[in-house]
Amino acid sequence: MTRRSDRGVAGGSASDGPVPVLKEEIAKRLRAGGLDPADVSAVVAAALAEDLAGGADVTTAATVPAGDLGRAEVVARAAGVVAGLPVAETTFWLASDGGTLACTPRAADGDRVAAGQSVLTVTGPIGPLLTAERTALNLLCHLSGVATLTRQWADAVAGTRARIRDTRKTIPGLRALEKYAVRCGGGVNHRMSLSDAALIKDNHVAAAGSVSAAFAAVRARAPGLPLEVECDTLDQVAEALAAGADLILLDNFAIADITAAVNLAAGRALLEVSGGLTLDRASSVAATGVDYLAVGALTHSAPALDFGLDLLSPVNASGAPCC
């Protein structure tokens, strides 16, 4: 995410007021992961506002006396890789108008977690805690699912030179968070946007007339920008190499043709494979000597990793047990 201030946008928290300045401890963890705290706050605030839809959490307001305090544990219901803990913390922080809920991480993003393991303790007023529960879990479950699937792919190619790379097949508005989750799972990121790198695909080749014409046109317009060329055939690979491409995407190539492309490139360009990839053939693709496997499923098809929130030790405002 683009670095800005740590203050979120107005009008999107669980209350009707401006989004509070994020706690520095949480903001520091977000920045360490390459995330902009202001952008994360904006995403979370919008999600909280969507859940409240301009009204109140009717069920919680009816069942939780004002001032009652408690402790809750966010617990993994299945084994996997956790990602998004500081995002969940941001959710609880904003839902309590900046500070009445305190979070203590029990794991770090990128950790493998077991079923039944607590990853986050939340203490404070039960009302905002329960109001924020589903929003926090939605984000944590999704991002951890992305990290868990990425880790499976990364493990599958371990011992080769290949790295697992994501795509732009992301949920609108969540790209930076999803690509962060990919990093947590051991993958690497492709371009974040259409402007930070060029990728010449089949439609660009059709529009320009040839691979070499498309390559020359992009180089002329953006001479310093990273440039990748998608190729459908070995002839196009040869054309891209002759044009001077330093990164080539092999689209839907058979193993034999991937091997031939590796030999053809002979180290003159990095090679990335996409299309038709599955976990069970990832190791054989990686063994050809390519540099990247581009896996859109990391973000568009990752199953959520299930987490739940268990409320423990509720007490009333005086500190006495309330149940």
**pLDDT tens readout for residues 225-269:** 999 999 999 999 999 999 999 999 999 999 999 999 999 999 999
Instruction: Identify whether 161 is a catalytic site residue.
Output: no
Cβ(112)–Cβ(65) below 8 Å: no
In angstroms, the CA 230 to CA 237 distance is 8
Using alpha carbons, select from 158, 161, 180, 141 the residue that is nearest to residue 279.
Answer: 158
**Which one is catalytic: 169, 202, 232, 257?**
169
User: What integer pLDDT is reported at residue 3 of this predicted model?
Assistant: 33
Are 104 and 209 contained in the same domain? no
The CATH number of the domain holding residue 255 is 3.20.20.70
Structural domain contains residue 4: no
Are 122 and 165 contained in the same domain? no
Higher pLDDT, 192 or 97: 192
SS (H, E, C) 75-102: EECCCEECCCHHHHHHHHHHHCCCCCCE
User: What integer pLDDT is reported at residue 66 of this predicted model?
Assistant: 87
Instruction: Identify whether 89 is a catalytic site residue.
Output: no
Distances (CA, A) of 217 to 24, 240, 243, 244, 296: 46, 13, 11, 13, 27
**Which one is catalytic: 6, 36, 251, 272?**
251
Are 80 and 142 contained in the same domain? yes
% of the chain with per-residue pLDDT over 70 = 90
List, in sequence order, every residue forming a beta bridge with 89; answer none if it has no partner. Answer: none
Backbone dihedral angles phi then psi of residue 308, each to the nearest 5 degrees: -130, 160
CA–chain centroid gap for 128, Å, is: 26
Please check the confidence at residue 20 and state whether its pLDDT lies above 80. no
Instruction: Identify whether 28 is a catalytic site residue.
Output: no
- The predicted-structure confidence for 24-46, as pLDDT tens digits, reads as follows 999 999 999 999 999 999 999 99
Range of the domain at 184: 157-300
Instruction: Identify whether 134 is a catalytic site residue.
Output: yes
User: What integer pLDDT is reported at residue 98 of this predicted model?
Assistant: 64
Structural domain contains residue 83: yes
Structural domain contains residue 12: no
Are 38 and 166 contained in the same domain? no
Q: In terms of DSSP H, where are the helices of the chain?
A: 24-32, 37-52, 58-63, 85-95, 126-156, 175-184, 202-208, 211-221, 234-243, 255-265, 279-286, 297-300
Band of pLDDT at residue 19, cut at 50, 70 and 90 = low
Structural domain contains residue 287: yes
The CATH number of the domain holding residue 143 is 3.90.1170.20
**Which one is catalytic: 28, 106, 163, 201?**
201
Are 266 and 147 contained in the same domain? no
Structural domain contains residue 75: yes
Using alpha carbons, select from 184, 134, 123, 149 the residue that is nearest to residue 315.
Answer: 123
In angstroms, the CA 21 to CA 99 distance is 10
Structural domain contains residue 14: no
Instruction: Identify whether 31 is a catalytic site residue.
Output: no
% of the chain with per-residue pLDDT over 90 = 86
**Which one is catalytic: 230, 239, 272, 291?**
230
Domain count along the chain:
2
Are 88 and 176 contained in the same domain? no
**Which one is catalytic: 28, 31, 106, 134?**
134
Using alpha carbons, select from 279, 284, 240 the residue that is nearest to residue 258.
Answer: 284
What's this model's pTM, rounded to 2 decimal places?
0.90
Structural domain contains residue 323: no
236: three-class secondary structure by DSSP = helix
Are 104 and 176 contained in the same domain? no
58-90 as b/e: b if 16+ CB within 10 A: eeeeeebeeebbbbbbbbbebebbbbbbbbbbb
- Please return the burial class of 161, using the count of CB atoms within 10 Å of its CB with bins 0-12, 13-18 and 19+: exposed
Please check the confidence at residue 15 and state whether its pLDDT lies above 50. no
Structural domain contains residue 40: yes
Are 167 and 283 contained in the same domain? yes
